[in-house]
Every structure is written in C-alpha cells, then in structure tokens.
Amino acid sequence: MQQLRRNRRLRTNDAIRSLVREHIITPNDFLVPLFVVEGDNIKEEIASMPGYYRYSLDLLVQEVKDIWSMGLKSVLLFVKVPDSLKDNNGTEALNADGLMQRAIKTVKNTVPEMLVMTDVALDPYSSYGHDGIVEDGYIINDETCEVLAKMALSHAIAGADFVAPSDMMDGRILAIRELLEQENYKNTGIMSYSAKYASAFYGPFRDALDSAPGFGDKKTYQMDFANREEAIKETLMDIEEGADIVMVKPGLSYLDLVRDIRDVVDVPVAVYQVSGEYAMLKAAAAQGWLDHDAVMLEQIMAFKRAGAHIIASYFAKDVIKLIG
C-alpha cells in the first residue's frame, strides 16, 4: 500500500509544531517553594541546592515582589527553626508569633494577592527531626494529628490561604478540616501531600531546613516506593476527609502516579519536583554533562503531560525567565 499517513507532516517546522502542541507551560502552573530563616539581611545559598536560598523576612519582601512581577502567583512556605526552639511536641509550631506565622504576614503585607500555602508538619520543629511526636521510638499518630490541626489553624489565623500537610499521619486531613470549619476558617483550603513516598530525593531539603531525622527513617509514615495502588487509596481517603488539592511527591520518578491519580480524582492534582531532583540537574549541568535549560523544560513539560495541574518546583523562576 502507498504511504498516505505521514506523521512527520505535523513536525515540518516550528509553526506547525506550535499549532499542534498538546501542552504549554505558563506561570500559572507553578507553586514556588520559599525557605525562610530568622535574622536580618540574610540570603544564604543552600549548599546542596545551588542557586536556591534561605531568606530572612526583610529580604523575603523583595523576593516576593520579584516572584509576583514574573507572573508567579503562589508560594509554598517553609521555615528553618533554631535548634533552641525545637522539642518533641513541636510546641514552637503553634506560636502565633513564630517564624512561619510572621512569614505569612510578610508575604501578605507585601503582595496581598499572592496565594500563600504553608507546610504543615512537625519535622522543622522536632528535636528528633520527625514529622510527628515520638514515643518509645514510634511516631504516634492521633496526638500528632491534634497538633497538626492546631498548627494549621494558626497558619490560617496568620493569613494562609491554603495549608499543606506533608506529614502522612492517618486522619490528619480530617482533623485539620474539622478544626478549620469549627473555628470558621471555612475558606482556608487544604493541599494534601496525599501520596508522599519515603524518598532519598529529599536529602538537600533536609540540609536546607536542618531537619533530617535524628534516628531511623520516615518509612513508618511515608509510603513505600514499591507501591502504586496504595497511592490511589491514600489520595481518595484524603479527598473524602476534605482535601481540596492532592499531591504526588517526589515528581519525576513518580509520574505514573500523577497519571493514575489524575484519571480517577475530581480535584486538582499537584506534583512536587523535590530538592534532590533540582540538585541532580544543577550538578550535571555544572559538569557540562547536561544542557540545563533544555532538560529543565523537558522535565517540567513531563509533569504537564502526565496530568499535573500544579507543579511545585525550585525551577519556577528559571523557567519563567526562559520562556518569558
């Protein structure tokens, strides 16, 4: 038979490729993670995340203005807590005048329209570096959920638009949702880290916040990376409990889950391109082994193609600078 169908006709030149392209990247796709520290005039580069910084609140102001001016409209806040304020119960997490609560206000006072999401987990506040309260070497679930709910409420009171629980305790979404409703924070959203795996890709992040676990690992609460169907179960349960947005984390090695989940849920799906993924590309590019910008765009597009509505990425500003 004579060849009639030639797929390469649709790839002949840039104009036709642009016309038939299925996905595009825009600033609306991104959630920008921000690391905040105590002090004045601090902008410190994170050793294992070249080109990414921790900011004190005074310098956070300019960074937030820059992000907004690039068309990026959502941030995800993390704080580095001094060791002297850490304990087993994460008491400092509930301090109405704590660093996170002040960071939320700083962002909102700088750009009121900026969407502010906050990390909710005890690890930056825990003397053990765990996401919950430790008892006899075990991370106790229900007591941790109670603290997480109070922590989420204090973020809502400080002005957070969404809280983002990243701890993987059972029932924490319900605990948070109930307390927010009860206290009349009905419009404060929850972005749940629903399918969060126990991953070695978080290493550089734990450097950034000095939050590595002091003993053991996180395998009794974060998911086993051998499991796929369990991710669907976790995600559907979080939606039932009241999650407005669900998330898969890490990103690139877990794109199968992004697609699986996108196919079965009716809420927006976020993906987190985590610190180790950022570090890998920066390292390879510094060696001259990979073309940084080309690989970065290819990876971001992979998230969109897999079905992500929202991409949390340390590359957000780099991408927008590149695509204009």
Binding site members for Mg(2+): 234
Least distance in angstroms from the C-beta of 6 to ligand PBG? 44
Q: Distance from first CA to last CA of the chain, Å, rounded? A: 46
Pick 61 or 230: Cβ nearer ligand PBG: 230
C-alpha to C-alpha distance for 288 and 268, rounded to whole angstroms:
37
C-alpha to C-alpha distance for 202 and 58, rounded to whole angstroms:
27
Least distance in angstroms from the C-beta of 82 to ligand PBG? 17
Pick 202 or 315: Cβ nearer ligand PBG: 202
> Which member of 121, 148, 173, 257 binds ligand PBG (CB under 6 A)?
121
| Residue 131 sits in the site that holds ligand PBG (CB under 6 A) | yes
Stretch of residues binding ligand PBG (CB under 6 A), selected from 8-16, 103-111, 118-126, 138-146: 118-126
Place of tokens 């890490």: 250
- The dihedral formed by the CA atoms of 118, 312, 222 and 154, expressed in degrees to the nearest 10: 0
Q: What residue numbers does the annotated binding site cover?
A: 234
Place of tokens 């939606």: 239
- The dihedral sign for the CA sequence 116, 119, 124, 125: positive
Least distance in angstroms from the C-beta of 197 to ligand PBG? 10
Residue 150: active-site member: no
| Residue 202 sits in the site that holds ligand PBG (CB under 6 A) | yes
Pick 50 or 111: Cβ nearer ligand PBG: 50
| Residue 30 sits in the site that holds ligand PBG (CB under 6 A) | no
| Residue 123 sits in the site that holds ligand PBG (CB under 6 A) | yes
Could you tell me which residues come within 8 angstroms of residue 283 by beta carbon, excluding any fewer than 6 positions away? Answer: none
Residue 186: active-site member: no
Pairing between β-strand 269-273 and β-strand 115-120 as defined by DSSP bridges: unpaired
| Residue 234 sits in the site that holds ligand PBG (CB under 6 A) | no
| Residue 275 sits in the site that holds ligand PBG (CB under 6 A) | yes
Place of tokens 């075990």: 138
Pick 110 or 253: Cβ nearer ligand PBG: 253
| Residue 74 sits in the site that holds ligand PBG (CB under 6 A) | no
Binding mask 161-200 for ligand PBG (x = CB under 6 A): -----xx---------------------------------
Q: Which of 86, 218, 249, 304 is catalytic?
A: 249
Q: How many residues bind ligand PBG (CB under 6 A)?
A: 12
Stretch of residues binding ligand PBG (CB under 6 A), selected from 13-21, 84-92, 116-124, 299-307: 116-124
Least distance in angstroms from the C-beta of 79 to ligand PBG? 11
Q: Which are the catalytic amino acids?
A: 196, 249
Q: Which residues bind ligand PBG (CB under 6 A)?
A: 119, 121, 123, 131, 166-167, 202, 205-206, 218, 274-275
